[in-house]
Amino acid sequence: MMRALRFTIATAFLIAVPWIVAATVPGQQRYVLHVLIFTALYGALALSYDLVVGHVGSLSLAHPAFFGIGAYTAALLATEARWPFAAALPAGIAMAGLVALAVGVPMFRLTEHSFAMGTLGFALVAQIVATNWVDFTRGPLCVTGIPKPQLGSLRIATLPGFYWTGLAAVGLVGLLYHGLTTFRLGRAFHAVRDNETLASAASIDPLKYRMLAFVIGGAVAGGVGTLYVSYVGVLCPGELAVSLSVNLLVMLFLGGVGSLRGVLVGSVAFTALPEILRMAPTWRMVIYGLLLLIIVIRAPDGLEGVIRRRSRA
Amino acid sequence: MSDLLEQLLHGLTLGSLYAMVATGLALMFGVVRLINFAHGEFYMLGGYAFWYAYAELGLPYPVAGLAAAAAMGVFGLAYERGVIRTILARTWHVQLIATLATSITLTNLAILVFGTQPKEVPTTLSSTIVDLGGVRMAWQRPLVLVAAVIIFAGLEWFVTRAKLGKAMRAMSQNREACAVVGVDVQRVALATFGLSAALAGGAAALVSPLFNIFPDVGALLTLKAFAAVIVGGFGYVKGAIAAAFLIGLAESLAAGYVSYAYKDAIAFVFMVAVLLVRPQGLFGRRIGI
């Protein structure tokens, strides 16, 4: 009862944010909403990444590629073929999922470090292709003029509109994440992560569950990519940069790997922190790198670990 | 014909570079079972150390090269003490993310300190052209090849004859047994990181006059060197060296005859192809440096 009430209040609060922001910081309304939209999209992306890293324990570095494949699919379909958003979004999701399936088959022959390095290689190749296949992706000239989403008569073009879209996206991905990681399927994921040999002895095929998490994670990343380009309106090959994996890893480890609340806390802290500190991008990456190094050595369960220790004490 | 020879020679230069970086990776993996994602950044820092010693301080080329290798050796020791020692007992996830975090930090620090503009360090050898049977090339290229051969011969002598080298080989076979018979395993691990980093620094001093130095040269280099380590059979140094030359030649031929823009994808495609056919690597054995 208490939980349901708290959940309803929190949801109502999150939905009311655009009005609260308008009332409290009228001058900076656009900027604050922009940061919040990025936070929501990053949150959804981090959750999809955590399905692979946190739940089946495969350290994939290919996530920027899936994000980019979804983004490019939707962007090119919307600009070149004039597909409506309602068709481009599923196309982006499906394309990213299919590529994840095709890449997963050879990649999962690799284990541990080799898997990480193989997926990193795939991410680098994806960026090389996006940069050099100028006839198709427009390369460094970027895909521009990507239309705002239109669902029937509803056109999402305002900042509050995108905020609610982002909120809905992170909510849906959160539900999916919860559903996939909690019940029998979730226990199978964790069995594969914690003890592969024991899992296969209990007739839980590690490859099957790893592939499942990898493909769903990739497809969701593609969906987030689709939303991202329809919000920003421009897509450049730099969006597929390997540094996106590092950002996602910081969010996961800062918040708490393998925990819904942890990952969300991590993405809020990650996107809010640099905005508050107003750092230059290069300094930002130096600090993220050091932060990741310190967290992973000193506090591998992140803020979620701190919250849990607090609530137990 | 001379075009083909030129591509092959270029491939051998690339192969020497990849082999020196891959050797360091394979040594580290052999001795402490850890993949150093920051290894390409060691090469990058070595390049800047060489640039500083040669172009800024004006030291003669051999001195500047040795200084770069020595500086990176010291850096490798500090890295082992500061980062690696704290994560050796942890899971491979933690190790991988920690070394990846180091790599990102070093790359962006280099951008802050040196800027994104590539540094060119032409030497007398790299600007003097030699004509070898119709193939014209800079003297630096044969120098790289000869130096690589000397370095690998020295390394072979080191791991088969020298006490420390033998200890490294022993540790790659059985760490516990080494500790039991009184090998100072921590010191051997420390020395391995110093040696591997010095190799990366030496490689940078050798090839920087040919290729420019820039902050994010490391990521692709780590990937290619790692591809060589996997293709060569994990932790088997000679296999990694052979595979590195194969990758260098394949890349150079692909750049010349297929597509320059996609040459960097070659190492990766090659690695995946080999792994599909031979998951244990081309020269896979079970264990040992």
Q: What is the DSSP letter of B54?
A: I
Q: Average of pLDDT values for A122-150? A: 82
Q: What pLDDT score was predicted for residue B285? A: 58
Lowest mean pLDDT among A179-183, B215-219, B272-276: B272-276
Question: What are A248-283's pLDDT values in tens digits?
Answer: 888 888 888 888 888 888 888 888 777 776 667 778
Q: Do A106 and B272 touch (CB under 8 A)?
A: yes
Q: Which two tokens stand for residue B221?
A: 């280099």
Residue type, B244: A
Q: What pLDDT score was predicted for residue A197? A: 83
Residue type, B129: I
Percent of chain B at pLDDT exceeding 70 = 96
Q: Answer yes or no: is pLDDT of B212 > 70.
A: yes
Q: What are phi and psi for residue A150, nearest 5 degrees?
A: -130, 115
Q: What pLDDT score was predicted for residue B287? A: 46
Q: Which of B86, B87, B108 to mutate to test the interface with A (most CBs of A within 10 A)?
A: B108
Which single residue is written with the structure tokens 């992306």? A45
Look up the pTM and report it: 0.85
Q: Do B104 and A122 touch (CB under 8 A)?
A: no
Core vs surface per residue B105-142: b (16+ CB within 10 A) or e = bbbbbbbeebeeeebebebebbeeeeeeeebebbbbbb
Q: Which two tokens stand for residue A106?
A: 């050879």
Q: Count other C-beta atoms under 10 Å from residue A114's C-beta.
A: 20
* 3-state helix/strand/coil string of B85-120: HHHCCCCHHHHHHHHHHHHHHHHHHHHHHHCCCCEC
Q: Answer yes or no: is pLDDT of B123 > 90.
A: no
With beta carbons less than 8 A apart as the criterion, state whether B219 and B40 touch.
Answer: yes
A114 shares contact with chain B (CB less than 8 Å): yes
A140 shares contact with chain B (CB less than 8 Å): no
Percent of chain A at pLDDT exceeding 90 = 16
Q: Which of A55, A60, A117, A244 to mutate to test the interface with B (most CBs of B within 10 A)?
A: A117
More confident residue, B3 or B66: B66
Q: What is the DSSP letter of A27?
A: G
A194 shares contact with chain B (CB less than 8 Å): no
Q: What are phi and psi for residue B132, nearest 5 degrees?
A: -110, 95
Q: Which of B100, B251, B259 to mutate to test the interface with A (most CBs of A within 10 A)?
A: B100
Give the model's confidence band at A179: pLDDT under 50 very low, under 70 low, under 90 confident, else very high. Answer: confident
Chain A hits for B113, Cβ within 8 Å: none
Percent of chain B at pLDDT exceeding 90 = 43
Distance CA A98, CA A107 (A): 14
Chain B nearest-CA distance from A245, in A, is 10
Chain A hits for B275, Cβ within 8 Å: 106, 109-110, 114, 118
Q: Answer yes or no: is pLDDT of A231 > 60.
A: yes
Chain A hits for B223, Cβ within 8 Å: 117, 120-121, 124
Q: What pLDDT score was predicted for residue B289? A: 52
Interface contacts A/B by beta carbons within 8 Å: 109
Q: Do A246 and B86 touch (CB under 8 A)?
A: no
Chain A nearest-CA distance from B28, in A, is 13
Give the model's confidence band at A313: pLDDT under 50 very low, under 70 low, under 90 confident, else very high. Answer: low
Q: Which residues have C-beta within 8 Å of that of residue A231, sequence separation ≥ 6? A: A37, A41, A162, A165, A166
- The torsion of the CA quartet A297, A300, A304, A309, rounded to 10 degrees, works out to -80
Give the model's confidence band at A205: pLDDT under 50 very low, under 70 low, under 90 confident, else very high. Answer: confident
Question: What are A191-201's pLDDT values in tens digits?
Answer: 888 888 888 88
Q: For the residues of B218-237, what is the DSSP string, one character each?
A: HHHHHHHHHHHHHHT-TT-H
Question: What are B237-266's pLDDT values in tens digits?
Answer: 888 899 999 999 988 888 888 777 788 787
Average pLDDT of chain A?
Answer: 84
Q: Do A243 and B101 touch (CB under 8 A)?
A: no
How far lies A256's CA from each of A35, A145, A169, A301, B105, in Å?
A: 22, 38, 21, 5, 21
Q: What is the ipTM of this complex?
A: 0.83
Distance CA A245, CA A247 (A): 5
Q: What pLDDT score was predicted for residue B74? A: 97
From B88, which residue of chain A is nearest by alpha-carbon distance?
A297
Q: Do A293 and B83 touch (CB under 8 A)?
A: yes
